[in-house]
Amino acid sequence: MRCITNRKKLQKGLLHKANDWKIIVDLEEFNYIFPPEIIPTSLRPDVVVWSNQLKRAIIIELTCAAEEGIEAAHIRKESKYLPLIAEITTNSTWKANLFTVEIGLQTSIGVSLNKTL
């Protein structure tokens, strides 16, 4: 007799591809510098996750906005950080992804959080 089970294949993301990931977060009490091995910049995204092994950076920018301003906040953050992503991928051996996460002031969580996770 053969036992048949429904097993879902585990979907793997970027983090499964390396084991040397580092993370830095822009906290008020911690004055950080964007990782210089990626590219020199004075910009300070809210979260940077990177792997020297993969030459890959994940940049996450968080925004809390009134629900009616979520789309505008998304556009504003993208316009600020997409040039950095372009500079990283054009002027270095690194690849980079930008994720903007918008959360509404009245506890509404935008679809961008699910996309990022």
Report the pLDDT averaged over residues 7-23: 79
Which structure tokens are listed for 27?
């906290």
What pLDDT sits at residue 2?
Answer: 56
List of residues 6+ apart from 99 with CB closer than 8 A: 58, 59, 60, 61, 112, 115, 116
Residue type, 67: E
Q: Is the pLDDT of residue 24 over 90?
A: yes
Segment 34-83, tens digit of pLDDT: 999 999 999 999 999 999 999 999 999 988 877 777 788 888 999 999 99
Domain boundaries, the chain: 18-63+74-110
CB–CB of 52/74 below 8 Å? no
Burial category of 43 from C-beta neighbours within 10 Å (exposed 0-12, middle 13-18, buried 19 and up): middle
Please tell us whether the domain made up of 18-63+74-110 is placed in CATH 3.40.91.60. Answer: yes
**pTM for the whole thing?**
0.76
